[in-house]
Amino acid sequence: MLTIYTHIIGVIYFTIGVFILGKRIRKNPDKSYAEKQSRIMHFLFHSGLTFPAALSFFYPGLKEFDKLLGFNSFSNIYILIAGIIILVAGAYFILNAIGGLGKQGNGAPAFKLTEKIARKGVYEMVRNPMSLGHYLLYIGISLIAGSTYLILGSVLFVIPAHIFHLKYFEEFELELRYGEQYIIYKKEVPFLFPRVNNLLKTNRSY
């Protein structure tokens, strides 16, 4: 049960942190101040969401949560295959997003903030390809494990908490850092779900 408590506390702690830091940058809409708050947000994300998720693999193990809570697990070959496909898709978005941050933005996923907006490759498809990749990763792992607890926790709590972070903190912070360039980018590229024309454009750019 200890890991379950860390999941619950982590989501609450992260969500409260998003609200507080989001309020701060609205009261002090300064680029350098936004950069400092963004680094704090990276720490909140990894300590509140990434660490508890990683802990699940080791204690008690992904397949043990349903037993602890008395939930019915689900598992068959079709769900397993779907989970693997979703997991691979998530890894694709994450790896390409990390590469784009480094090559196009001269930054990294955590703490080293980008100097420019990454706009090519997966960033032509959606504005938040790394987040999309993480969501697919959560769902894919949950399906592979056949865990009711993990799939419900991911879809109902972890993913909504992170989307709140993107909408309430990150997009406002990026507008402060990049100004009109990011506002134009927001109008051209969808938030999380690719449009068909964006997919075609991305394929031509590779």
CB within 8 A of 179, min separation 6: which ones? none
Give the integer Cα–Cα distance in Å for 201 and 206. 9
Q: How many domains, the chain?
A: 1
The whole-angstrom separation of Cα 105 and Cα 114 is: 5
* CATH number where 139 lies: 1.20.120.1630
pLDDT digits (tens, 9 = 90+) for 11-30: 999 999 999 999 999 999 99
Q: Which domain holds residue 84?
A: 2-205
Tokens of 131: 């987040």
Q: Is the pTM of this model over 0.85?
A: yes
Q: What is the pLDDT of residues 149-162, one digit of tens each?
A: 999 999 999 999 99
Task: Fill in the amino acid letter for 125.
Answer: M
Going by the DSSP 8-state scheme, the letter that residue 71 receives in this structure is P
User: What residue ranges of the chain have pLDDT lower than 50?
Assistant: 206
- Rg of the chain over Cα atoms, rounded to whole angstroms, equals 18
